[in-house]
Amino acid sequence: MTDLEIRDVPETALDEMIDFSGLVFHQRIRERDLDRWRWMMRRAERIGAWSGGIRAGQLAALPMRLAVPGGTVDCSAITAVGVLPTHRRRGVLSAMIERMHADAATAGRPVAVLWASEGAIYGRYGFGLADRAVELEVDTSRPLPLRTEPDPRPLRLVDPADAPAIVGPIHEAALALRPGGLVRDGEWWSRNVLPDEELSDERLTAPRVVVHPEGYAIYRTGHGIVRLEDLVAADARVEAALWRFLAGIDLTSRITAPTRPVDDLLPHMAADPDQVKVTGEYGALWLRLVDVPAALRARSWASGDVFVLDVADARIPANHGRWRLTTGAAPGCAPTGGEPDLSLSVADLGAAYLGGARLSTLVRIGAVTEHTPGAAARLDAALAVPLAPYTNDDF
């Protein structure tokens, strides 16, 4: 589109962005939802696309921190992306993504992440699917015997207003063990994780928070179900204690858990596997390495090794080329002229970055080329994480 102009959206135009989101996502934004929308748009970097005086598109980037193996990395969490139905397929999104990449690089954020409305959109922009999630349904119309002895320490219900201070440190400790989550500040907890209203289901109560010294669960109840929103536990016995509590809540006969890690323990813990059903599995976080060497230096590695990676990146020229990656205790990543062990796209490297996708599988399907036999398996070993990456942050 020749007359396309990409500009920042000022804070005075938050409501225009919200209306625009309602239009492109086919949602009626209600008065009571506005507060949360405004909060999220206010804290975002807001990119708008104009064509002939018309706002043709928008994209919001929230500066956040993402848990990666061994630490956290600054990231742009992308949301509220849309293009007017009258202006689609003319490159508006492409222009906004280009601007987002430049903003993230300038701000020193090596990674961008998002939840995609459709899996077909973001691969072309260098995003790879970095983690998946499962949906669980638990039949609690009868007791739920577990193979794991629940930790006996007492549970207590806490006021959601007090919850961030109590469960925040538990969540943060869990991020060190499992990559893929976002670091949550007080506002993220109160407005995004624990809002009083549930926007998608009016029949559900306000959030309930049950706390153990080394774990917590956040859930809502209504029409005979317990809907689990977040559950974090330091070990399997704490996890068993929380599930046993949830399964025993009076006047309910089912737990639905829409977003759990792919390696969730409950299907293994249940003495009767028929009581716990995995009712869905889906792509969760898409991840884009905006700065390949900075991102690769920011994570820890499960084994020490050296690789030459030939990375293809058609959108960010600084990433494109050969990198000498040193994994292990003193990670390094620097340009090299050496012969590559592996050739891969930046999207596939992004998919493997948190330990989610396996490069050996991507070699088998022909997406990644292995020049040195065994290199993909060695890099998989270095990328490996003890717990599967998992994202349970709504943005």
Ligand X SMILES: CC(=O)SCCNC(=O)CCNC(=O)[C@H](O)C(C)(C)COP(=O)(O)OP(=O)(O)OC[C@H]1O[C@@H](n2cnc3c(N)ncnc32)[C@H](O)[C@@H]1OP(=O)(O)O
Q: Is 390 a catalytic residue?
A: no
Query: Which is nearer to ligand X, 56 or 170 (by Cβ)?
Result: 56
- Residue 89 contacts ligand X per CB under 6 A: yes
Written as six digits, the tokens of 212 are 């153990």
Minimum separation from the CB atom of position 98 to ligand X (A): 10
- Residues whose CB is less than 8 angstroms from the CB of residue 118 and which lie 6 or more positions away in sequence, other chains included: none
Out of 69, 82, 150, 181, the only residue in the binding site for ligand X (CB under 6 A) is: 82
Query: Which is nearer to ligand X, 111 or 225 (by Cβ)?
Result: 111
Site pattern 41..80 for ligand X (x: CB under 6 A)? -------------------------------------xxx
Stretch that binds ligand X, among 84-92, 169-177, 337-345, 372-380 (CB under 6 A): 84-92
DSSP one-letter string for 35-69: HHHHHHHHTSEEEEEEETTEEEEEEEEEEEEEEET
Distance separating alpha carbons of residues 88 and 105, to the nearest angstrom: 27
Query: Which is nearer to ligand X, 224 or 283 (by Cβ)?
Result: 283
Q: Could you identify the residue written with the tokens 């991102």?
A: 295
Is the Cβ–Cβ distance between 183 and 193 less than 8 Å? no
Is the Cβ–Cβ distance between 191 and 62 less than 8 Å? no
Distance separating alpha carbons of residues 283 and 120, to the nearest angstrom: 11
Is 59 marked within a binding site?
Answer: no
Binding to ligand X in span 13-32, by CB under 6 A: 24-25
Helix (H), strand (E) counts: the chain: 11, 19
Out of 83, 104, 266, 333, the only residue in the binding site for ligand X (CB under 6 A) is: 83
- Residue 114 contacts ligand X per CB under 6 A: yes
- Residue 155 contacts ligand X per CB under 6 A: no
The DSSP bridge partners found for residue 112 are 76, 288
Q: In what order do the strands lie in the sheet with 369-370?
A: 332-335, 321-326, 306-312, 342-345, 369-370
Q: Is 245 a catalytic residue?
A: no
Is 118 marked within a binding site?
Answer: yes
Minimum separation from the CB atom of position 257 to ligand X (A): 23
CA dihedral 137, 140, 143, 146 (to 10 degrees): 20
Is 90 marked within a binding site?
Answer: yes
Query: Which is nearer to ligand X, 121 or 166 (by Cβ)?
Result: 121
Residues annotated in a binding site for acetyl-CoA? 81-83, 89-94, 117-118
The residues binding ligand X (CB under 6 A) are 24-25, 78-83, 88-94, 114-118, 120-121, 124
- Residues forming the active site: 122, 395
